[in-house]
Structure 1
Amino acid sequence: MSGTEQNLSFVLEGIHKVKFEDRPIPELKTPHDVLVTVKYTGICGSDVHYWEHGAIGQFVVKDPMVLGHESSGIVSKVGSEVTSLKVGDRVAMEPGVPCRRCEPCKAGKYNLCINMVFAATPPIDGTLAKYYVLPEDFCYKLPETISLQEGALMEPLGVAVHIVRQADVRPGQSVVVFGAGPVGLLCCAVARAFGASKVIAVDIQPLRLEFAKNYAATSIFAPSAVPATENAARLIKENGLGPGADVAIDASGAEPSVHTGIHVLRTGGTYVQGGMGKNEIQFPIMAACTKELNVKGSFRYGSGDYKLAVSLVASGQVNVKDLITGTVKFQEAEQAFMAVKSGKGIKTLIAGVEE
């Protein structure tokens, strides 16, 4: 790398095969677009999965693809019709652009857009580059109180906001969150911000549970190698949940967590699946039916989720700074992937290309 590159990018060519490549500076596609100089990018499990396996479900990396989608940056160019942003503004970048015309989009569920263009989802290039183009309404101006590092965490926080909104968490409710990774921890924080009186974090890793306890959970639970019904019964008893929890959120994708989540709920409770695991699992359908549970999926983020994420951090209701384990230089991007793969820390950031 000579330092004279136009748009240096971190490109996945195949499994465990990455390279730095200089690409053209992207053009503004419409008068409503802005060009962002990317400053920080968080590493997500999906990025690591593409690096490790070359595919997630039906999304297969067939051609070289720029990785990354959890980013913040500074606006460096604006289209002629842009009114809400100017050059120099610091922004959180929402990395999925819907078509705005299909039925889900018109129904207000743009996260379910049939023609979604989402960063670092084959064949769409991601944000681990010097520059990235987005429509102005998918860039969220950061208040002075929020750093660009924190801005990169608006993406996982947006996911957590969407999950907790799907769960319709109300003040005074009890919420059990399975999985104390970044999204699970942020679900705990958002549930607390929404007024939940009990937020129990569940994980099999002691260090993550300890972090959750000091971060946003009111209590923690380490499941044993016993049937899900037994773990659920102990969880209910230890946390004084009476007939069961009001809400269960799975942010792990692990089959035993799904089972325990269904069994830990009271009758009429709400279960939200946020974590992605195996394509198919066994499911305790009898318990879901007889308890008349409200069972929902949750996918990415939709209308108002990023805006609320920024507001929760700006108001001090959610702290994302504590999740940042460290930052590596752009040239050390692959080391960051290795660190995340080995389970080190909570959230590793990659700094933008140095000027």
Structure 2
Amino acid sequence: MTVTTDAKGGNQAFVLHPGGSFAFEECSIPTLQSGRDIIVRVAATGLCGSDIHYWQHGAIGRYVVEKPIILGHESSGIVVECGDGVKGFAVGDRVALEPGSTCNTCKHCRSGRYNLCKDVRFAATPPYDGTLATYYRVPQECCYKLPSHVSLRDATLIEPLSVAVHSSSLAGKMQEKSVAVFGAGPVGLLCTAVARAFGASKVAVVDVVPSRLAFALEHGATNAYQMSSESPEKNAADLLSTAGVENGFDIVLDATGAEPCVNCGIHALTQGGTFVQVGLGKPNLSIPVGQICDKEISFKGSFRYGPGDFELAIGLLNSRRVNLDGLITHEYSFPEAEDAFKNVAGRSGIKSVIYGPDFNAEVAKSV
């Protein structure tokens, strides 16, 4: 496939306007702003729950859609231009994009926790535009070459896989540990795959959708449990029984942010266990603090990903310890972008991707 930055092709973008309406618009083609910048032609973008939330609600916490914004941040593409200071990349390279660039100078960046940088410029987080466009500019450190057997389509999952790597790493050593993962959506399923790759002996997945639980069992889960409307204590007891875990799970990863799941997970933990909050729901939850103290568990928040997480995610794919087959269930051309948003909002399938403007879908799917 021939890829060009010819301005005659333009930079078509899918733009969300305040109030929830979408429009296809021609935007300026991004240019190199420093010697370490790279311009990428976007091949495919996976839709995230945050994209849907900005569309339907206009805000996530303090981040408000006050002016038109381009959404999308789970993307792959092909390098079309490199700054004169870029090393290790060349035009034509297939890459995954890390969607947040940081200041690299604050105490968090300097101490190796750049995901906590207050000056991060994160794609599709107001006021910064995302990747649902023809071209996107990133600094060199936010580009990652793809293994030869990973397609540009599947590479859209590297960003959420990095979320799973980060949260799983926060949980500590998983070798021969029992792990419960709440939520069998994309991030929960990827947490399941990472937990198995990290050596967990048992990974039980919890959800309310039977089809997603069935998928989890085919992709790494050792057990599956369908949450009921019973109390968190009753669900926790039933979960432990189903999974054959006598004294509680060593680790719980919650990818839902739903209060019943968080409460159930805390009750299902063993004494001294570790709970990692991966997904976000309501900003304020009622949780059993007494259980947290009585068991002396470690309750940790997880935010995006940090140094080494993208490299490790790609390493797991390169070694085939994590398999992405089947996670992408819906594919859309760029003109069908709004249909993709509606599909995700309707909770159909697992992961939906949108191909970049005029990007050949067959090329994106090939390796």
Q: Is TM more than 0.5 here?
A: yes
Aligned partner of 1:176 in structure 2 is 180
Structure 1 position 169, deviation (Å): 3.8
Distance in 1 (CA, whole Å) between partners of 2:212 and 2:19 is: 28
Structure 1 position 16, deviation (Å): 2.9
Aligned partner of 1:37 in structure 2 is 41
Distance in 1 (CA, whole Å) between partners of 2:356 and 2:118 is: 31
| Greater CA drift, 330-339 or 319-328 | 319-328
Aligned partner of 1:216 in structure 2 is 220
Aligned partner of 1:23 in structure 2 is 27
Task: Determine if contact 1:169/1:191 at 8 Å carries over to the other structure.
Answer: no
Distance in 1 (CA, whole Å) between partners of 2:244 and 2:195 is: 18
Q: Any idea what the Cα deviations from partners look like across 1:10-41, whole Å, max 9, x if unmatched?
A: 10002330001101111111100100000000
Alignment partner of 2:242 out of 234, 238, 244: 238
Does 2:75 align with 1:71?
yes
Distance in 2 (CA, whole Å) between partners of 1:11 and 1:104 is: 32
Structure 1 position 313, deviation (Å): 1.1
The 1:330/1:337 distance shift into structure 2, 3 A limit, reads same
Aligned partner of 2:323 in structure 1 is 319
Aligned partner of 1:50 in structure 2 is 54
Does 2:306 align with 1:297?
no
Report the residue type matching 1:217 in the other structure. A
Residue-pair matches, total: 353
Report 1:122-137 matches (<5 A). 122-137=126-141
Alignment partner of 2:90 out of 76, 86, 97: 86
Distance in 1 (CA, whole Å) between partners of 2:252 and 2:117 is: 26
Identity of aligned residues (%): 51
Task: Determine if contact 1:41/1:350 at 8 Å carries over to the other structure.
Answer: yes
Task: Determine if contact 1:94/1:138 at 8 Å carries over to the other structure.
Answer: yes
Structure 1 position 145, deviation (Å): 1.1
Does 2:269 align with 1:250?
no
Task: Say which SS state the counterpart of residue 137 (structure 2) adopts.
Answer: strand
4+ residue runs over 6 A deviation = none
Report the residue type matching 1:211 in the other structure. F
Structure 1 position 328, deviation (Å): 0.8
Aligned partner of 1:98 in structure 2 is 102
Distance in 2 (CA, whole Å) between partners of 1:34 and 1:78 is: 5
Distance in 2 (CA, whole Å) between partners of 1:237 and 1:207 is: 21
Alignment partner of 2:339 out of 329, 335, 339: 335
Distance in 1 (CA, whole Å) between partners of 2:242 and 2:358 is: 51
Aligned partner of 1:108 in structure 2 is 112
Aligned partner of 1:195 in structure 2 is 199
Does 2:351 align with 1:347?
yes
Distance in 2 (CA, whole Å) between partners of 1:6 and 1:113 is: 33
Distance in 1 (CA, whole Å) between partners of 2:75 and 2:196 is: 25
Task: Say which SS state the counterpart of residue 148 (structure 1) adopts.
Answer: coil
Report the residue type matching 2:201 in the other structure. S
| Greater CA drift, 22-31 or 33-42 | 22-31
Report the residue type matching 1:207 in the other structure. S
Task: Say which SS state the counterpart of residue 267 (structure 2) adopts.
Answer: helix
Task: Say which SS state the counterpart of residue 121 (structure 1) adopts.
Answer: coil
- Please report the TM-score for the alignment, with normalisation by the length of structure 2: 0.94
| Greater CA drift, 89-98 or 136-145 | 136-145
Distance in 2 (CA, whole Å) between partners of 1:208 and 1:157 is: 18
Q: Any idea what the Cα deviations from partners look like across 1:44-72, whole Å, max 9, x if unmatched?
A: 01001111111111110001000100000
Does 2:268 align with 1:264?
yes
Structure 1 position 4, deviation (Å): 5.1
Task: Say which SS state the counterpart of residue 256 (structure 1) adopts.
Answer: helix
Report the residue type matching 2:249 in the other structure. A
Report the residue type matching 1:197 in the other structure. S
Q: Which runs of 5+ in 2 are unaligned?
A: 1-6, 360-367
Distance in 2 (CA, whole Å) between partners of 1:170 and 1:189 is: 12
Q: Which runs of 5+ in 1 are unaligned?
A: none
| Greater CA drift, 168-177 or 70-79 | 168-177
